[in-house]
A and B are shown apart, each in its own frame.
Chain A
Amino acid sequence: MSGFAAVRLPDARWHPAEVAFWVALAAAPFVFPGHLVLGSQVLITGLFALSLDLILGYAGIVSLGHAAMFGAGAYTAGLLARHGWGEPLSGLAAAAVAGAAIAWATSFIAVRGGDLTRLMVTLGIGLMLYEAANQAARVTGGVDGLSDMAVRDLLGVFPFDLAGRTAYVYSFAVLFAVFLVCRRIVRSPFGLSLRGIRDGARRMPALGSPVRRRLIAIYSVSGAIAGIAGALLAQTTQFVGLEVLGFARSADLLVMLVLGGAGWLYGGLIGAALFMVAQNQLSSMNPVYWQFWLGLLLVAMVFVARGGVVGAIGLARERILGRAAR
């Protein structure tokens, strides 16, 4: 790119609303001390949704099997803690590697093929891993789940308390750190090229952009983040159930991301918050109502948003927040 005028990348400054958002999240332990368990679950799911946003919102890959990476991370952290290595942060790192590895290994099939094949492959891989974990019950605990995890104190100082305070702060810190990284990625030339791929993959090679390599790279990064989210869940709840690999988790995640809006990083966080709080309330009243209204909401969203759900939300956002929305 030498010889040309510097390319203007999207605004790296922080919009005041963004700052307010993070401050609000950080203040939660003081404002709502009784709901920190749900709070950390929301943060963890938000992180997971963030990872999906990278591939769906920015690279256009629709995946129904993202739980595979999440579950891989959860079991990695869980097994480490179960077999003597209870240090949380290194467990997190190991989980990131596990998630990235699974993503990388499956990316070759996931990035080629048409939309339907891709959907099926991601779905199939998720289900395969679920079954594998189910069968390897001696290692994973199968349906009974993996317990007896001895997670040591965070940084050697903070034990994981029953009220969930340590868990919340831990999840928040990890989420914020990863978010900063993602923000950097999407505003870089690499991130821009991803959007180019999403919007018109055929044209990108003409620009000299290596499409497959980029997709494999972002898919692996996304897998690493999903793995971290899984490990967070395992460490904060000291338990890993088979459901971390389940289809329901992948499907719910997709819904959450779309609710909040894919393609702007905050969509996953907001979608996760709305979805989980609403589910917590409505499910306890009557699980049938929750399912029905959620279904209706999805159908309505698709019809109301002309030009596609992602497009419509993006349009509204842009109008209100200006360039910062990207």
Chain B
Amino acid sequence: MFTSLPGVLFDGVAYGSLLFLMSIGLSVTMGLMRFINLAHGAFAMLGGYVCVVGMARLGVPFLATLPLAFLAAAAAGAVLERALYRRLYRRGPLDQVLFSLGLTLMSVAGATYVWGSGQQPMHLPGFLLGQVRVLGVDLGIYRLFLVALVATITAALVLLVRRTRFGARLRASVDDAQASAGLGIDVTRVFSVTFALGSGLAGLGGALAIDVLGLDPTFPLKYLVYFLLVVVVGGAGSIAGTLAASLLLGLFDVSGKYYVPAAGAFVIYALMVVLLLLFPGGLRRGAR
């Protein structure tokens, strides 16, 4: 049983990295704007469909569709933030839930209308298929690619947040938006750029997820819970917390399915309730 452990752990890490990529945008916008955005998954879905359309209709190779997915989702995020989200920052949670729920429904209906309700077929390029034997364990090449890519992006994000001026402004705004505005930081601009960046990363995640999670119009609703779970458990606004929560979730989900298939998804939700009881503020803030 334990010979399979490294393989299962690796799968869990791969799944967790994917979740991280898709959820980090949500985490930062929740921490920054205190906005409950249930529609975040729609941006991931958009990235997924851009990838599929790019490959199937326009003949673009898979790797080239990834930046396209990012840009499309980022652009959509920027436009929506400026037009709609911005006006709702001061509203209560109910209004935010209703608005983002409405947006989600529209995106699901729109995707069904344009692409039909079935799974989108997608064929990865040959060099990403198959497995490779590393230290006696068969690892999927695509999953290795995922982990490497997400690790790189995470490093870049950390650099962005810690070493750049923008990052400093972002951290200041997360800590106290009012005070930051008082110091002359253009908080509105920070919000916009962050939202766009977060949506773009979600779009990229969505495109990468097609092979692992599949893509159909109900994607935003299906995985909404996982995104929210990661953010709430990890602590909104924290990269480290979100990363830890994503990896934890990925590991538990995959190991649960492997070792205790009869328990199914119950493990994850039970884990979430337990974690929320122990760490009401998220992993970042520690036990109460």
A interface residues (Cβ-Cβ under 8 A, vs B): 56, 62, 64, 109, 112-113, 115-117, 119-121, 123-125, 127-128, 131-132, 134-135, 247, 251, 254-255, 258, 288-289, 291-292, 294-299, 301-303, 308-310
Q: Flag if A291 contacts B105 (CB, 8 Å).
A: yes
Q: Specify which chain A residues have a CB less than 8 angstroms from the CB of B102 in the assembled complex.
A: 294-299, 301-302
Tell yes or no: B94 within 8 A of A by CB.
yes
Instruction: From known contacts A117-B276, A120-B228, infer whether A299 and B266 are also in contact, taking CB-CB under 8 Å.
Output: no
Query: Residue on B with the closest CB to A257?
Result: B94
A-B contact pairs, 6 of them (CB 8 A): A124-B229, A288-B109, A292-B109, A301-B98, A309-B94, A310-B94
Residues B235-288 near A (CB distance < 8 A): 236, 262-266, 269-270, 272-273, 276-277, 280
B interface residues (Cβ-Cβ under 8 A, vs A): 30, 36, 84, 87-88, 91-95, 97-99, 101-110, 112-113, 221, 225, 228-229, 232, 236, 262-266, 269-270, 272-273, 276-277, 280
Q: Specify which chain A residues have a CB less than 8 angstroms from the CB of B88 in the assembled complex.
A: 302
Q: Flag if B113 contacts A288 (CB, 8 Å).
A: yes
Q: Flag if A255 contacts B273 (CB, 8 Å).
A: no
The 3 closest A-B pairs by CB, nearest first: A298-B102, A295-B105, A292-B109
Task: Give B34 Cβ to nearest chain A Cβ, in Å.
Answer: 8
Query: Residue on A with the closest CB to B113?
Result: A288
Task: Give A59 Cβ to nearest chain B Cβ, in Å.
Answer: 13
Q: Specify which chain A residues have a CB less than 8 angstroms from the CB of B107 in the assembled complex.
A: 295
- Complex Cα spacing A131 to B113, Å: 30
Q: Flag if B93 contacts A116 (CB, 8 Å).
A: yes
- Complex Cα spacing A56 to B277, Å: 22
Q: Flag if B98 contacts A295 (CB, 8 Å).
A: no
Instruction: From known contacts A128-B269, A292-B109, infer whether A119 and B95 are also in contact, taking CB-CB under 8 Å.
Output: no
Interface class of chain B by DSSP: helix
Most buried by B among A127, A251, A294, A295: A295
Contact of A127 among B30, B105, B225, B232 (CB under 8 A): B225
Q: Flag if A134 contacts B99 (CB, 8 Å).
A: no
- Complex Cα spacing A119 to B270, Å: 15
Query: Residue on A with the closest CB to B114?
Result: A288
Q: Flag if B94 contacts A120 (CB, 8 Å).
A: no
Q: Flag if A258 contacts B110 (CB, 8 Å).
A: no
Task: Give A102 Cβ to nearest chain B Cβ, in Å.
Answer: 13
Task: Give B269 Cβ to nearest chain A Cβ, in Å.
Answer: 4
Query: Residue on B with the closest CB to A131?
Result: B266
Q: Flag if B229 contacts A62 (CB, 8 Å).
A: no
Task: Give B30 Cβ to nearest chain A Cβ, in Å.
Answer: 7
Q: Flag if B229 contacts A128 (CB, 8 Å).
A: no
Q: Flag if B269 contacts A298 (CB, 8 Å).
A: no
Contact of B112 among A112, A127, A288 (CB under 8 A): A288
Q: Flag if B266 contacts A132 (CB, 8 Å).
A: yes
Contact of B104 among A124, A288, A295 (CB under 8 A): A295
Q: Flag if B36 contacts A119 (CB, 8 Å).
A: yes
Instruction: From known contacts A132-B266, A292-B110, A303-B87, infer whether A117 and B280 are also in contact, taking CB-CB under 8 Å.
Output: yes
Instruction: From known contacts A109-B277, A310-B94, infer whether A123 and B99 are also in contact, taking CB-CB under 8 Å.
Output: no
Query: Residue on A with the closest CB to B108?
Result: A291
- Complex Cα spacing A244 to B275, Å: 26
Q: Flag if A124 contacts B276 (CB, 8 Å).
A: yes
Contact of B276 among A109, A297, A303, A308 (CB under 8 A): A109
Contact of B232 among A120, A125, A295, A301 (CB under 8 A): A120
Contact of B265 among A115, A131, A254 (CB under 8 A): A131
Q: Specify which chain B residues have a CB less than 8 angstroms from the CB of A128 in the assembled complex.
A: 266, 269-270, 273
Q: Flag if B95 contacts A302 (CB, 8 Å).
A: yes
Q: Flag if B95 contacts A295 (CB, 8 Å).
A: no
